[in-house]
Amino acid sequence: MTRVLLVQLPIPRQNFGRKTGNVPLGAACLKQAVHALSGVAVEILPESIVSYLADAALVEAIRDRRPDVLGFTVFNWNIERSLYVCEKIKETGGGPRIVFGGPEITPDNALPRAPQVDFRVHGEGEAVFRRLLSEPGFWANGSAAESAADIFRRAPSPYLSGWLEPEAQGLMLLETQRGCPYRCGFCYYNKSRAGLVFAEEEHLLRAVAWAVERRISEVYLLDPSLNARPRLKGLLAGIGRLNAEKRIRLFSEIRAEAIDETLADLLAAAGFTWFEIGLQSINPKALKIMNRPTRLDRFVQGAQRLKQRGITPSLDLIVGLPGDDLAGFMRSVDFVADHDLQNDIQVFPLSILPGTRFRRRKRELGLSFEAHPPYTVIATPTFTPEDFMLAYDYAEKRLDTVFFPLPDLDLSWRLAGGAGRNGPPDIRVGLGGRSYVAKLNLQGERPIVEIEGLAGCLTQPYQVLVGPTVRDPVYLKKVLAVLTAVNPFTPLEVVFFEPAELPATPELLTAVRLRRPHFLDGDLRFLFPRSGNRAVLFTVVSGARQPRFQGEMERQAYWWRRSALPSLEDLSEFAELDGILIDSALPPEEICAWQDRWGLPAAEQYHISFAEVGLQRRWLLLTCPDGYVEKAMAWQGV
């Protein structure tokens, strides 16, 4: 029996329990494509495990399964971490055969051509995967590309076979087509296959019916442009009949120019509540260079038709496009604001992705960009590094938003019932039948050998909670070095409770052994030049009322230890700080009543956390219900 394990690593996050969107749909399609092969057993490492384990724990979870073949779906956010995990798996010699597939596997990308990777799949993977598992000699090719159009067209959604966990995040991903009719210079999607292929309508409607019956809350149609599908209106009418009670919310991408009144009505009737309608720029020169012709009048009409029906149009703007400059970008921002389309907007620096036309024309276009993922552009002939900062400053002010907020405030440290015999325990969570540490408690100087043991069972991300008696920076640097040495891709937060002196974060960062640059540095290299800093957050909790600790990736919260709970007026006293930790001896029932009364209005204005982990979990699920996975925050002892 050939044991196959398929893995997809998530986008790194800085709040444990946050939804990652890490749905291994590609792995499930591969499993479905080979399920009839004899002598093959395929397992997908569940997203409820793989999305929340630090590096060392993840490596151990893979080793425990002892696969003969190990497959990774790689994107720009996980390729370097995937390579590291494979290196650790094979470091003792032998190990499984390793195959890489996904958007990062392109002929011009040298990064996956590493010794620990035995095979690389370009484009669709189902047909190649079948050959790897049925033709042993096929591995010698090292790489391959083969159309899976017929397999995709006829295959039902892998959710129907139970190979995915929609309950993990309340989300179903549904492919209705592969390929893209557009040829935008910044995008690789249209190069992943020749031509378009569409899933059969019968299979799509069966999948939607399945989601409705199981009360899956969200279904995302993974189309680069839903409007490209032939007979789309008939499909929407069918979905509308199945989802007549609006049990599920649907999302997708569409060209706004294609939305007329009839199509807008059908989208609303089907249950769509959100569409990404990438604008990117209104600069004619930039639009021409990226090969994205846009009728701006029709774009606005389509976006407004969505808004009129309660569907959110989500716009994208890109900073640093060839042919654009700071003034042109500012005009694009003004265009969005003038047409009242800023309710859901994302602003990205341009990424020069492998396989794209921009990557191929980088010298001709004069593009300077980071060699590491996400390949962020640094400068163009018309965009200086300073222009990027000015562009974001202008966009945040004009659109009244913040594009790079600090992570959610979670300073909880205490289990219900108070501290243990030797002080507050580590806060653990159960994942896949095992116990992992999400909050490592340093109320005193614990032996380094003990820290070494804990480093192998951490979550992603994790926190180090430093009590006031831990004052030796040399000891703390040893702790951080030990934890990060075996978890070099895992974000972390270091929380200081009433420190005698403010922590010297530059000195502490010298001990942190994260791989640099970290993926989280990518979009912000022009703001955070110290490599690796974006993946490490430092927080001070104290009774100080004035801000003293608010530099790069630093924040300061007030420690509320009064007998009464705060009113909204009380909270306003600390508006200049980055948050408030409510640490109350009142019965949990009273604190829950306060959360129910003040939750949404308080959370809209202030960053609030609670000392007891169960109350903190309740608060996050109350104030950010679509942002967290309750099942993941299964604190042990709560």
Give the tens place of pLDDT for each residue, 526-570: 555 555 588 999 999 999 999 999 988 999 999 999 989 999 999
Q: Does residue 178 belong to any structural domain of this protein?
A: yes
Q: Does residue 338 belong to any structural domain of this protein?
A: yes
Outline where 345-490 has alpha helix (H): 357-360, 362-365, 385-399, 448-454, 473-485
Number of domains in the chain: 3
What average pLDDT does this structure show over 471-494? 97
Please give the Cα distance from 318 to 314 (Å, whole number): 14
What does the pLDDT look like over 249-258, one tens digit per residue? 999 999 999 9
Residues 477 and 619 in one domain: yes
Q: Is the pLDDT of residue 51 over 50?
A: yes
Residues 77 and 179 in one domain: no
Q: What percentage of the chain exceeds 90 in pLDDT? A: 80
Residues 349 and 228 in one domain: yes
Residue 183: per-residue pLDDT: 86
Q: Does residue 638 belong to any structural domain of this protein?
A: no
- Chosen domain end from 353, 381, 399: 399
Residue 286: per-residue pLDDT: 96
What does the pLDDT look like over 271-282, one tens digit per residue? 999 999 999 999
Residue 95: per-residue pLDDT: 85
What does the pLDDT look like over 597-617, one tens digit per residue? 998 899 989 999 999 999 999
Q: Residues 6 or more apart from 352 whose CB is under 8 A from it? A: 186, 358, 359, 362, 367, 369, 375, 377
pLDDT classification of 421: cutoffs 50, 70, 90:
very low
Residue 420: per-residue pLDDT: 46
Q: Residues 6 or more apart from 338 whose CB is under 8 A from it? A: none
Q: Hey, how many other C-beta atoms are within 10 angstroms of the C-beta on 251?
A: 20
Residues 197 and 308 in one domain: yes
Using DSSP, state whether 379 is helix, strand or coil: strand
pLDDT classification of 188: cutoffs 50, 70, 90:
confident
The answer to whether residues 178 and 200 touch, using CB atoms and an 8 Å cutoff, is no
Q: Residues 6 or more apart from 524 whose CB is under 8 A from it? A: 404, 534
Please give the Cα distance from 471 to 90 (Å, whole number): 40
Identify which has the larger pLDDT, 493 or 422.
Answer: 493
What average pLDDT does this structure show over 103-114? 93
Residues 105 and 53 in one domain: yes
Give the position of tokens 């009048």.
297
- Chosen domain end from 120, 150, 180: 150
Residue 252: per-residue pLDDT: 96
Q: Is the pLDDT of residue 153 over 70?
A: yes
Q: Does residue 490 belong to any structural domain of this protein?
A: yes
Residues 357 and 492 in one domain: no
What does the pLDDT look like over 286-298, one tens digit per residue? 999 999 999 999 9
Q: What percentage of the chain exceeds 70 in pLDDT? A: 96
Residues 331 and 431 in one domain: no
Domain containing residue 106: CATH number: 3.40.50.2300
Using DSSP, state whether 315 is helix, strand or coil: strand
335: its two tokens: 């265009």
What does the pLDDT look like over 323-371, one tens digit per residue? 999 999 999 999 999 999 998 999 999 999 999 999 999 999 999 999 8
Residues 139 and 176 in one domain: no
What does the pLDDT look like over 12-41, one tens digit per residue? 999 999 998 899 999 999 999 999 899 999
What average pLDDT does this structure show over 111-127? 95
Q: Does residue 165 belong to any structural domain of this protein?
A: no
Nearest to 56 by CA among 74, 81, 22, 77: 81
Q: Is the pLDDT of residue 59 over 50?
A: yes
Residue 263: per-residue pLDDT: 97
What is the H or E stretch that residue 263 is in?
A: helix 261-270
Amino acid at 438: A
Domain containing residue 449: CATH number: 3.20.20
Residues 580 and 612 in one domain: yes
Q: Does residue 631 belong to any structural domain of this protein?
A: no
Residues 293 and 357 in one domain: yes
Q: Does residue 69 belong to any structural domain of this protein?
A: yes
Q: Does residue 419 belong to any structural domain of this protein?
A: no
Residues 357 and 445 in one domain: no
Residue 2: per-residue pLDDT: 95
Global pTM value: 0.94
Average pLDDT, the chain: 92
Residues 266 and 312 in one domain: yes
Q: Is the pLDDT of residue 109 over 50?
A: yes
Give the position of tokens 């996980």.
78
What is the H or E stretch that residue 492 is in?
A: strand 492-497
Its domain, for residue 473, covers 427-623
